[in-house]
Amino acid sequence: MAVSGGAAATAQLLYVVSGHLWGVGGLFFGLWLIPMGWLVVRSQWLPHLLGQLLMVGGVAYVVSTFVSYIFANADVAVGLLTVPATIGELWIVGYLVIFGIRNHSGSHPDRTPGAA
């Protein structure tokens, strides 16, 4: 089976396909932030505002993926829509590295104090 256009056309096709796959991957980059933010809010182990920012950032990231496909010259808007997700991700990483999670030793009724 021969590919018409030669090696240069094949390389260009793979380049375009790669770009579109990164676009689809952008959906998943945003979608995982929504349940993570929800868990942060529900658990109360991390700041409430952090959980809300993660959920907003996840929605904005998903919207940015659609905006990039609908509007060809919307690079600035797409970049701005990913800012909340970036801030939320950096905040949670920094918070976990510096502070960890809050101690909830009384939240497990099946564990006795002092038991390992």
Q: 38-56 pLDDT, tens per residue?
A: 999 999 899 999 999 999 9
pTM for the model stands at 0.74
Q: How far apart are CA 96 and CA 50, in angstroms?
A: 12
pLDDT above 60: residue 115: no
Q: Which residue, among 70, 91, 78, has the nearest Cα to 26 in the 3D structure?
A: 78
Query: Does 35 have pLDDT greater than 90?
Result: yes
Domain boundaries, the chain: 22-102
| CA dihedral for 104, 105, 109, 111, sign (positive or negative) | positive
Q: How confident is the model at residue 104 (pLDDT cuts 50, 70, 90)?
A: low
CA distance 22 to 27: 9
